[in-house]
Amino acid sequence: AQSVTQLGSHVSVSEGALVLLRCNYSSSVPPYLFWYVQYPNQGLQLLLKYTTGATLVKGINGFEAEFKKSETSFHLTKPSAHMSDAAEYFCAVSEGQAGTALIFGKGTTLSVSS
Partner 1 sequence: DAGVIQSPRHEVTEMGQEVTLRCKPISGHNSLFWYRQTMMRGLELLIYFNNNVPIDDSGMPEDRFSAKMPNASFSTLKIQPSEPRDSAVYFCASSLIGGQGYGYTFGSGTRLTVV
d(CA 10, CA 3): 20
CB of 41 to partner 1, least distance (A): 8
Query: Which one, 73 or 89, has the nearer CB to partner 1?
Result: 89
SS3 state at 75: strand
CB of 44 to partner 1, least distance (A): 4
Query: Which one, 23 or 105, has the nearer CB to partner 1?
Result: 105
Do residues 68 and 74 touch, judged by C-beta distance below 8 A? yes
Q: Which residues pair with 112 in a beta bridge?
A: 13
**Residue closest to 36 by CA, chosen among 107, 113, 100, 111:** 107
Binding residues for partner 1 (CB under 8 A):
32, 34, 36, 42-46, 49, 51, 90, 94, 96-107
Query: Which one, 25 or 32, has the nearer CB to partner 1?
Result: 32
CB of 3 to partner 1, least distance (A): 12
How far is Cα of residue 67 from the mean position of the Cα atoms in its chain?
11
CB of 8 to partner 1, least distance (A): 14
